Structure 1
Amino acid sequence: MAQRIFAVLAPDSRRLEELASLDAAEAGPAYAGYVVERLLARPVLARALIELRLEAARNPEVAEPLGAFLRAGFEADVEFHNSRGLPGGRDAVLRLHHLVNGILLDALTIRLDSTADPVAQARNSAAALGS
Structure 2
Amino acid sequence: MKWFVVLMALVAVSCGSTSVTDPAQAQDCTELVEAGRAVAERVLERLEGQTLSELEAADPETPFAPIERLMRSDEFTQRAVVLGCGTDQLRLQACSVYADLEFDAQGELARDFLAPYLAACD
TM-score (norm 2): 0.39
Greater helix content: 1
Structure 1 or 2, whichever has the larger Rg, is 2
